[in-house]
Amino acid sequence: MASVTYSYKMFKYFNRTYAISEQAPPPDVKDAFSLFADGADSMSADQLLHFLHDHQLESDYTEEDSNRIVETVLQSRAQNTECDSENTGLTLDEFFRFLFLVDFNDALKSQVHHDMNAPLSHYFIYTGHNSYLTGNQLSSDCSDVPIIKALQKGVRVIELDLWPNSTKDDIDVVHGRTLTAPVSLIQCLKSIKEYAFVKSEYPLIITLEDHLTPFLQAKVAEMVAQVFGDLLYYPETDLLTEFPTPESVKGRILISTKPPKEYLESKPFKDSDSERESIDEGTSSPGIITELEVADEKSDGNDLDEESLNARDKKPDQQSISEYKRLITIHAGKPKGNVKDHLNVVGGVKRLSLSEQELERASIAHGSDIVRYTQKNIIRVYPKGTRVTSSNYRPHIGWIYGAQMVAFNMQGHGKSLWYMQGMFRANGGCGYVKKPSFLIEQGPDDEVFDPKKPMPVKKTLMVKVFLGNGWSTDFSKTHFDTFSPPDFYTKVCIVGIPADRVNRKTKIIYDDWFPVWDEEFEFPLCVPELALLWIEVREYDKHEKDDFGGQACFPVPELRSGFRVVPLFDEKGEQLKTVKLLMRFQFK
């Protein structure tokens, strides 16, 4: 077995040398090779196909696929004169290297495979919060750049906060009552149009947090129609009784906001979700609040203040207001009073916005009502106002009650955002994940899912961590330890309903860039449909905080059985160039 030598200088005068062996196939890989190769020294294309079908449970692979894999390996072998070119099958080492090919052994399917013909309310939707902010919630710049980045990652709901500009004749996108620097609405719209479908062809929803006069609302309607053109979806009726399906509005842009003032007067929502959210966020930072807040609290949620109205010495005609109203596919509102009073399913469908705190409070006494509401309507959950650093909350507080739009600050990083990114790797990364049937359907006695109710184990996930490599390529020799190779261990965790949450970790492998753990963990799951598997590699440090070595997160229902290669991601969610783990997933 070949080895690699690493030298470290200690105390400026002494060299310390480490000879580290390159990785060999672990025993389980050897056993699988021997089994499917019938004890021979090589595995033929037919035998590889049986391995793919029986061990990897990949029924879609064909004889042509297995022949192509073997031919690719043979072509690579021909360039190496030390190999036996007469062997027409995969050797053990070649089979081992094949397992590291992401194109064939990724942990998840890369194609959309969920039913996309159900109403939008039947899906978890990849949702951004204050999508235009480049950093913190109080003083960062507003820009179209974070919007573009979010769309490139597959986000399907973009939020824009609309305020009058300084001369009150145009519209800025800015986080109101803060020191954030604005960006023009037209610039944001143009960038959205350019990048809306680069990652996913399924509908893009724009939620407008509207702090505009009727005159400027009419101007928004004109801008949106001109920029998006045929991409813009117009609802067939003023108030839908059922949302369209992702498939039916594929490649289209949908608008979600509160109806304009004249339309609101006859509707149950007197206070919009956007106004309530701004007040929630603004009150957390009293030093930043301006006189606009007082005006907002006195208004009915549709006018900014008297000065703004008087600045335009005219009212828009009914046609202008009708154009703004006509844009809205998903009607939004934030009712005053007790949330329970508004969790009804009567009449047209709508979107209700709740802060993470409001949702948690409501779920204590009205969890079943929330689940029942989200079977037909949409709930959007947004971060509490004290998250001024653009941190995030655990997304499961919304998902376990069926909330479709769990809105996140995409410009940050951390565990919560990693969980969000992991969930939306499902279904080919298209940004829409079909909710489990128990969050969509009612039981025989009209009962609905209760995440707090004791439940039996439904399925057990077996996770084996074999080995990892790539750190020596992606990181400098002294990145983790100044005087020696790193000491890696792997954390393997389940994130889901409270009963399913569990953390495990491997032993520490000291002084080795190519750690081999060969450890297996068993995870009994009560609600596997909502579980995430989170994997993180850390480098042990006796005196300081352990160093970060990469992470990955996967939706448990989407995991593919068998040997799988797991590329790791950095703290911002970007995939590391070379770092990978070899793992095995099995269900029983």
**Residue located via tokens 């129609």:** 225
Task: Tell the burial category of 547 from Cβ atoms under 10 Å away from its Cβ (0-12, 13-18, 19+).
Answer: middle
Contacts for 133 with CB less than 8 Å, ≥ 6 apart: 140, 141, 142, 146, 175, 180, 390, 409, 411
Find the helix or strand (DSSP H, E) in which 228 lies: helix 214-228
Residue 381: CB atoms within 10 A of its CB come to 27
Please tell me the distance from the alpha carbon of residue 576 to that of residue 558, in angstroms, as a whole number: 22
Residue 239 burial by Cβ neighbours in a 10 Å radius (0-12, 13-18, 19+): middle
Angle at which helix 145-152 crosses helix 185-195, to 10 degrees, equals 20
Residue 102 to residues 29, 68, 379, 411, Cα–Cα distance (Å): 17, 15, 36, 28
| Separation of alpha carbons 17 and 361, rounded Å | 58
Report d(CA 246, CA 427) in Å as an integer.
13
Per the CB < 8 A criterion, the answer to whether 334 and 272 are in contact is yes
Residue type, 461: L
Q: Which helix (H) or strand (E) holds 380?
A: strand 378-382
CA atoms within 13 A on the CB side of 272: 28
What are the DSSP E strand ranges found in 228-300?
Answer: 253-257
CA dist., res. 41 & res. 92, Å (int):
7
| 23 φ, ψ (degrees, to nearest 5) | -75, 140
**Catalytic residue numbers?**
129, 175
| Separation of alpha carbons 292 and 296, rounded Å | 6
Nearest-10 Cα torsion for 423, 427, 430, 431 = -30
Residues 53, 59: Cα–Cα separation, whole Å: 5
Q: Strand 502-505 vs strand 488-495: parallel, antiparallel, or unpaired?
A: antiparallel
Cα–chain-centroid distance for residue 412?
13
The residue written with tokens 């004749």 in the block is: 169
**Listed residue (187, 195, 196) closest to 132, CA to CA:** 187
Q: How far is CA 427 from CA 30, 206, 460, 517, in A?
A: 32, 22, 22, 31
Is the separation of the CB atoms in 66 and 90 below 8 Å? no
- Give residue 186's identity as a one-letter amino acid code: I
Give the distance, in angstroms, between the CA of residue 347 and the centroid of all CA atoms in the same chain. 32
Q: How does DSSP classify residue 90?
A: B
